Amino acid sequence: MLSVKEELLAALAAELEKLAPGAGARAAFENPKVAAHGDWACTAAMQLARAVRQNPRALGERLQAALMATPAYQRWVDAIEIAGPGFLNLRLKPAARQQVVREVLAAKERFGWQADRGERILVEFVSANPTGPLHVGHGRQAALGDAICNLYATQGWQVHREFYYNDAGVQIDTLTKSTQLRAQGLKPGDPGWPEAAYNGDYIQDIADAFLARATVKADDRAFTASGDVGDYDNVRQFAVAYLRNEQDKDLQAFQLKFDEYYLESSLYANGHVEATVQRLVANGKTYEKDGALWLRTTDYGDDKDRVMRKSDGGYTYFVPDVAYHIQKWQRGFHKVVNIQGTDHHGTIARVRAGLQAADVGIPQGYPDYVLHTMVRVVRGGEEVKISKRAGSYVTLRDLIEWTSKDAVRFFLLSRKPDTEYTFDVDLAVAQNNDNPVYYVQYAHARICSVLRAWREDGDASELAHADLSPLTSEQAQALMLQLAKYPEMLGAAASDNAPHDVTFYLRELAASYHSYYDAERILVDDETVRRARLALVAATRQVLDNGLAVLGVSAPQRM
Please give the average per-residue pLDDT across 277-300, as a whole number.
96
pLDDT recorded at residue 391:
65
pLDDT recorded at residue 51:
85
**How far apart are the C-alpha atoms of 262 and 324, rounded to whole Å?**
9
Cis peptide before 188 (omega within 30 of 0): no
Please give the average per-residue pLDDT across 152-169, as a whole number.
95
Helix (H) or strand (E) segment spanning residue 424? strand 421-424
List of E strands, 93-184: 120-124, 158-165
In sequence order, what are the residues at sequence separation of 6 or more whose Cβ sits closer than 8 angstroms to the Cβ of residue 34? none
Helix (H) or strand (E) segment spanning residue 147? helix 136-154
**How far apart are the C-alpha atoms of 482 and 478, rounded to whole Å?**
6
pLDDT recorded at residue 1:
75
Q: Give the three-class secondary structure for 1.
A: coil
Q: Is the pLDDT of residue 418 over 80?
A: yes
Q: What are phi and psi of 420, to 5 degrees?
A: -65, 145
Q: What is the set of domains in the chain, with CATH numbers?
A: 2-92 (3.30.1360.70), 433-551 (1.10.730.10)
pLDDT tens column, 110-127: 999 999 999 999 999 999
**How far apart are the C-alpha atoms of 363 and 424, rounded to whole Å?**
42
Q: What are phi and psi of 117, to 5 degrees?
A: -95, 0
> What number of residues does the chain have?
559
Residue 41 in contact with residue 28, Cβ under 8 Å?
no
pLDDT recorded at residue 31:
85
Q: How confident is the model at residue 390 (pLDDT cuts 50, 70, 90)?
A: low
pLDDT tens column, 31-76: 887 777 888 999 999 999 888 888 999 999 999 999 999 999 999 9
**How far apart are the C-alpha atoms of 452 and 455, rounded to whole Å?**
5
**How far apart are the C-alpha atoms of 181 and 193, rounded to whole Å?**
8
Residue 169, number of CB atoms within 10 A of its CB: 14
- How far does Cα 166 stand from its chain's mean position? 25
**How far apart are the C-alpha atoms of 552 and 121, rounded to whole Å?**
19
Residue 85 in contact with residue 56, Cβ under 8 Å?
yes
Kindly state the percentage of the chain with pLDDT values over 90.
Answer: 88
pLDDT recorded at residue 388:
59
Please give the average per-residue pLDDT across 319-347, as a whole number.
96
pLDDT recorded at residue 547:
98
Beta bridge partners of 83: 87
In sequence order, what are the residues at sequence separation of 6 or more whose Cβ sits closer than 8 angstroms to the Cβ of residue 78? 91, 92, 93
Residue 316 in contact with residue 308, Cβ under 8 Å?
yes
Residue 249, number of CB atoms within 10 A of its CB: 14
Residue 127 in contact with residue 111, Cβ under 8 Å?
no
Residue 495 in contact with residue 406, Cβ under 8 Å?
no
Name the burial class of residue 303, with classes exposed (0-12), middle (13-18) and buried (19+) by CB atoms within 10 angstroms of its CB.
exposed
Beta bridge partners of 395: 135
Q: Is the pLDDT of residue 387 over 80?
A: no
Residue 100 in contact with residue 468, Cβ under 8 Å?
no
**How far apart are the C-alpha atoms of 368 and 276, rounded to whole Å?**
21
Q: Give the three-class secondary structure for 370.
A: strand
3-state secondary structure 286-307: EEEECCEEEECHHHHCCCCCEE
| CA-angle at 533, arms to 531 and 537, nearest 5° | 115
| Prediction pTM value | 0.91
Residue 351 in contact with residue 328, Cβ under 8 Å?
no
Per DSSP, the chain holds a count of helices (H) and strands (E) of 21, 16
| CA-angle at 439, arms to 522 and 451, nearest 5° | 30
Please give the average per-residue pLDDT across 287-302, as a whole number.
95
pLDDT recorded at residue 351:
96
Please give the average per-residue pLDDT across 179-195, as a whole number.
95
Helix (H) or strand (E) segment spanning residue 66? helix 56-68
Mean pLDDT of the residues in the chain: 94
